[in-house]
Amino acid sequence: MTYFREIQHLPLRTYNQGVMAFNIQEDEGNDASLAYLKGLLPEEKVRVMAFFQDVKKRGPEEVKRELIRTMPLQEDGDLA
């Protein structure tokens, strides 16, 4: 299972972790999602819970727009 720890930009890592937990819950249920969340480091859990609250408050599209707006530009050599 991936926890996206190779991603240096913390807001993007947190977004990916939160979306992964949500998708697991949708596909496999609450127990599987909780098992994923238990694999997060304590500081990651705090950030993901704050992410969930932010999505609940502002909506997923607004949260995603802000993430994209704040992401650093990539050098050409960094693109996959």
Q: What's this model's pTM, rounded to 2 decimal places?
A: 0.87
Q: Is it the case that residue 80 has pLDDT exceeding 80? A: no
Domain membership flag for residue 44? yes
- What is the tens place of the pLDDT at every residue in 42-78? 999 999 999 999 999 999 999 999 999 999 876 655 5
Q: Is it the case that residue 1 has pLDDT exceeding 90? A: no
- What is the spatial distance between Cα 62 and Cα 37, in angstroms, rounded to a whole number? 23
| 34 in Cβ contact with 1 (< 8 Å) | no
Predicted confidence at residue 77, as pLDDT, reads 54
Tokens standing for residue 73: 């530009």
Domain membership flag for residue 61? yes
Euclidean distance between the first and final Cα of the chain, in Å?
Answer: 21
Domain membership flag for residue 75? no
Domain membership flag for residue 57? yes
Domain membership flag for residue 78? no
| 19 in Cβ contact with 7 (< 8 Å) | no
As a whole number, the mean pLDDT across the chain is: 93
Count: domains in the chain: 1
Domain membership flag for residue 32? yes
| Domain span at 53 | 10-69
